[in-house]
Amino acid sequence: MDWRRLAGGDPLPLDFADAFEAARDRIAPLGRRVVFFTRTGSTNDEALALAAGDEAEGVVVIADEQTAGRGRRGHVWHSPPGSGLYVSIVLRPSRDAAADTRTTGLLTLAAGVALAEAVEAMTGLRADIKWPNDLLIGRRKLAGILAESAAADLGYVVLGYGLNVSARAWPPEVADRATSIESELGRPVDRARLGVETIAAIARCYGDLMNGRFDAILDAWRRRSPSSRDARVTWQTRAGPQSGVTDGIDDRGALLVRVGDRVERIVGGELVWGE
């Protein structure tokens, strides 16, 4: 396959083309088509547009720079050029798989496991996962994940992630809360190869989901998420702020929080994590 011949986008850099070719058997069914942008607003927006236009499952959108990158609940994801991996993937779960709400409910958790495993395999860095979608080294954010779809009945979901590879031009409000792989290692890494390894890991974990191997995802996630137990969290309810202590996740990926003598099941919303 000539990875540099793309329908749309900019020419794929040669190092990415070589990395995709070397891993072609391990990334299937993902990477059937790769669309690269030197600069774009958001890879998720580009992938959502492709999905809405009946793009097949597995198209991968990569940007060298995002000008409107975002995380959960509209948070900005700073995406300076050449410093990170900004990737979105179009997924189309089968009708049977999509009918099981665990498939989509565990997708973000599966992606977190995949990114953590890929980073550790290539660099030796062990990242912790903070529910539901952040990778941390210590208390600093290394990566974030965002799964989106235009509507639940359209049969597709876009899985996007941003992974900090090097620290370049972070704004002051982010610099003390973020980290990067090269900052932690003290040496450069092959960004293209790392990017393809993350896609290969997602392909593997996505295969687990499609084949109903939910326990494999849940067990791997729990091993990498110390904060899912015994951490104090606060969140807003209609009755006002609530707080409690985390007590793991259930088999659908919801965070369990002990509040007095009861256990709350958190499926979304903004959590404030205690120190």
Task: Summarize pLDDT for 31-89 with one digit per residue, the tens.
Answer: 989 999 999 999 999 999 999 888 889 999 999 998 877 755 556 666 778 889 999 99
Do 82 and 148 have their domain in common? yes
Domain of 18: which CATH number?
Answer: 3.30.930.10
Using left for φ > 0, alpha for ψ between -120 and 50, and beta otherwise, residue 253 falls in left
Domain of 243: which CATH number?
Answer: 2.30.30.100
Structure confidence at residue 8 (pLDDT): 63
Q: What tens digit of pLDDT does each residue of 159-195 get?
A: 999 999 997 766 667 778 889 999 999 999 999 999 9
Model pTM score: 0.92
Do 216 and 239 have their domain in common? no
Q: Is 77 among the domain residues?
A: yes
Do 192 and 172 have their domain in common? yes
Do 176 and 244 have their domain in common? no
Token pair of 202 as six digits: 């997602």
Q: Is 39 among the domain residues?
A: yes
Let me know: does 3 contact 20? Beta carbons within 8 Å.
Answer: yes
Q: Is 2 among the domain residues?
A: no
Structure confidence at residue 190 (pLDDT): 97
Let me know: does 137 contact 183? Beta carbons within 8 Å.
Answer: no
Range of the domain at 233: 228-273
Do 207 and 250 have their domain in common? no
Number of domains in the chain: 2
Mean per-residue pLDDT for 201-230?
A: 95
What is the Cα–Cα distance from 49 to 74, expressed in whole angstroms? 18
Q: Please name every residue paired with 243 in a beta bridge, in sequence order, or none if there are none.
A: 234
Q: Is 8 among the domain residues?
A: no
CA distances from 51 to 15, 45, 54, 89, 211 (A): 26, 10, 5, 10, 23
Q: Please name every residue paired with 66 in a beta bridge, in sequence order, or none if there are none.
A: 40, 79
